[in-house]
């Protein structure tokens, strides 16, 4: 996996410019990988700005683990909630957390005699974590006006989403962290990084290893296979291929097909609701 420092410098500068405009930051994490979807530099960039964490796509994550993650983060005194942007579940709670997090800021304003100032917030997160979906949900009908003139960048817009609360309609895009191969593959498995910068077979092997370790029954049931204690990612791949009839001409197992199928079924939660990062 490669990264280009030039890109990163630019992304960082853009993020810092955006952060200057707001009072509160909502950091969206993927509930399936709350650790891997963190960008450790956000804290540095946001300084002391109040932050709320929302574990998104809760509908795709293991509910027991999501609860454990919420408890863990609450113990660290981080305001945190879990949400589902498709149904809107948890979004109200998220807004109350934002208001609560903003209280020190509004109190400071009051002391200075500043009245009627709205709290401004923005949504940040790694690609594909659901930022635009959340912004659209919060903004509702109040669609921002995009310029249709070529070469004219859309102006940033503020949308009032609750009394005294304005949302920046442009999400803050954070770059994914590539600290170790496992983190990168978790990001790939959930769709935060593109297919072409990771090895799909590596991703599948890691996924099956983790499924064998954490969710063996669900894996066996979904693919109608029987698992043995000696099974490895490789033998499971073969079992899945056989069960699903992934064969090439001459009856040879088509591992590319298995790869494509299993990765898709995991990413889209057809396989079930699983969390890969452990709330250790």
Residue from 130, 172, 176, 241 in contact with ligand GDP (CB under 6 A): 130
Count H helices, E strands: the chain? 11, 7
Options 45-53, 73-81, 122-130, 193-201: segment touching ligand GDP (CB under 6 A): 122-130
Strands 165-168 and 158-162: antiparallel
The distance of closest approach from Cβ of residue 42 to ligand GDP in the complex, given in angstroms and rounded to an integer, is: 14
The distance of closest approach from Cβ of residue 66 to ligand GDP in the complex, given in angstroms and rounded to an integer, is: 12
The distance of closest approach from Cβ of residue 251 to ligand GDP in the complex, given in angstroms and rounded to an integer, is: 37
End-to-end CA distance of the chain: 26
273 contributes a contact to ligand GDP by CB under 6 A: no
Q: Which of residues 162-191 bind ligand GDP (CB under 6 A)?
A: 171
84 contributes a contact to ligand GDP by CB under 6 A: yes
- The interface mask with ligand GDP, positions 38-67, x = CB under 6 A, is ------------------xx-xx-------
**Structure token pair of residue 151:** 């070469």
Residue from 34, 50, 90, 125 in contact with ligand GDP (CB under 6 A): 125
Residue from 33, 97, 101, 129 in contact with ligand GDP (CB under 6 A): 129
The distance of closest approach from Cβ of residue 137 to ligand GDP in the complex, given in angstroms and rounded to an integer, is: 9
- Cβ distance 82 to 31 under 8 Å? yes
235 contributes a contact to ligand GDP by CB under 6 A: no
C-alpha distances (whole Å) from 45 to each of 53, 92, 125, 175, 262 are 16, 27, 13, 13, 37
7 contributes a contact to ligand GDP by CB under 6 A: no
Nearer to ligand GDP, 132 or 157 (CB): 132
Q: Is 196 exposed, middle or buried (0-12, 13-18, 19+ CB in 10 A)?
A: exposed
- Print burial letters for 102-111: b (CB count within 10 Å at least 16), e (below 16): beebbeebee
Supply the angle between the helices 216-223 and 233-244 in degrees, to the nearest 10. Answer: 20
List contacts with ligand GDP (CB under 6 A).
56-57, 59-60, 84-86, 125, 127-133, 171
């Amino acid at each position: 996996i490669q990264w280009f420092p030039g890109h990163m410098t630019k992304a960082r500068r853009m993020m810092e410019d955006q952060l200057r405009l707001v009072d509160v930051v909502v950091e969206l994490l993927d509930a399936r990988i709350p650790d891997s979807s963190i960008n450790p530099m956000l804290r540095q960039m946001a300084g002391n700005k109040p932050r709320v964490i929302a574990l998104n796509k809760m509908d795709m994550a293991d509910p027991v683990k999501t609860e454990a993650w919420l408890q863990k983060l609450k113990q660290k005194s981080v305001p945190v909630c879990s949400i589902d942007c498709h149904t809107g579940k948890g979004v109200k709670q998220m807004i109350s957390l934002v208001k609560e997090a903003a209280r020190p800021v509004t109190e400071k304003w009051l002391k200075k005699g500043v009245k009627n100032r709205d709290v401004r917030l923005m949504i940040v997160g790694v690609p594909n974590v659901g930022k635009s979906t959340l912004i659209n949900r919060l903004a509702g009908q109040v669609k921002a006006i995009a310029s249709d003139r070529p070469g004219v960048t859309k102006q940033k817009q503020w949308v009032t989403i609750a009394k005294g609360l304005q949302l920046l309609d442009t999400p803050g895009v954070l770059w994914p962290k590539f600290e170790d191969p496992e983190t990168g593959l978790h990001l790939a498995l959930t769709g935060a990084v593109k297919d072409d910068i990771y090895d799909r077979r590596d991703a599948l092997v890691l996924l099956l290893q983790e499924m064998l370790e954490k969710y063996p029954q669900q894996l066996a049931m979904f693919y109608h296979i029987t698992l043995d204690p000696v099974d490895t990612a490789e033998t499971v791949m073969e079992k899945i291929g056989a069960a699903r009839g992934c064969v090439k001409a001459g009856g040879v197992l088509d591992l590319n097909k298995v790869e494509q199928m299993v990765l898709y079924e995991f990413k889209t939660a057809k396989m079930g609701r699983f969390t890969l990062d452990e709330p250790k």
